[in-house]
Structure 1
Amino acid sequence: MTIALVPRFPVDDVQLSALHARAFGGDAVEVRPWAQRLDRHALTWIGAFDGERLVGFVQVCWDGGSHAFLLDTAVEEDQQRHGIGARLVKAAVDEARAAGCAWLHVDFEPHLEHFYLNACGFRATGAGLVQL
């Protein structure tokens, strides 16, 4: 299996919506305007492809200055535990650094602590959250 990482790939809204729904438990038939959102709000995005098949994704949003935010890290279930997620995050870190960002933030649920802190090199920090 050869997985290619492709920054700022041409987004197929149907394909990315389906991957995101499978990863995060959303509506599998709802198509979201990913291409438009990413173009408007993201510093970059990276896809992991097995041939033509999108098997992983991550996006980096930012404040236009020194802070960037990692969002929507997802890898197809049948492709997990092969290092694809860590490669996606490393590529996102590299892209944010190349853009001049000094900080890359990520929020994650407790079951992902090992992935982000150990596999990807983030450090734990305090954070706050309010549901809108």
Structure 2
Amino acid sequence: MSITDWEPALLPSIVEVFVDVFNAAPWNDRWAVDDATRRLRDLHDTPGFEGAALLVDGTLTAFVGGHRQRWWDGGDHCYIAEMAVRRSAQRSGHGTRLLRAYFDRLSDVSTFYLLTDIEGPAAEFYAAAGFRPARRRHVMTRTAPATS
């Protein structure tokens, strides 16, 4: 097992894991490979990007990617935009190991935050990793208005 930087050459394997995870329960998304590739390439190309991947016996098993953001206090926060562990390897400790390594790599970051479902396995995983619901903020969404 090894943890490495998320390099562009890993993108096809990262996309494979992303589609495998998010097109299955509990997410039940309908990601096409082209759309997932575009999303994850755009994430990688975001200024302040920080990403890591976990390989087991040479196979990409998990990844995490986000980006640093400067905060008013002069420190950095990190938004974790995507993280996934291959479904066949979930509940094996790989995600926890990868997230710890990510935190270690970004030891100068003062706050990490992310978006996930309110309930379910992902929320339980992140709570076990020390995340909690934000006290002063919540996510607001809006559907784009229909065009005429």
**TM-score (normalizing by structure 1):** 0.79
What are the superposed Cα offsets for residues 85-127 of structure 1, whole Å, 9 maximum, x if unpaired? 1111112222222xx3211112221112221112x11122242
| 103-112 vs 59-68, greater mean Cα deviation | 59-68
Aligned to 1:95: 105
Cross-structure match for 1:122: 131
2:64 corresponds, among 58, 61, 79, to 58
Superposed CA offset, 1:2-39 (max 9, x none): x2111344533322211111111143542614456414
Q: Contact 1:61–1:69 (CA<8 Å) still a contact in 2?
A: yes
Q: Over alpha carbons, which structure has the higher Rg?
A: 2
Partner of 1:11: 9
Q: Distance in 1 between matches of 2:48 and 2:17?
A: 18
Q: 1:130, CA displacement in angstroms? A: 1.3
Superposed counterparts of 1:69-108, under 5 Å = 69-97=79-107, 100-108=108-116
Does the CA contact (< 8 Å) of 2:48 and 2:69 recur in 1?
A: no
Q: How many residues align?
A: 127
How large is the Cα RMSD of the aligned pairs? 2.2
Q: How many angstroms apart in 2 are the aligned matches of 1:125 and 1:36?
A: 26
Structure 1: distance between partners of 2:50 and 2:18: 17
8 Å contact 1:60–1:96 — kept in the other structure? no
**Structure 1 CA distance for aligned equivalents of residues 66 and 78 of structure 2:** 6
Which letter maps to 1:52? G
The corresponding residue for 2:37 is 32
| Greater than 6 Å deviation, 4+ residue runs | none
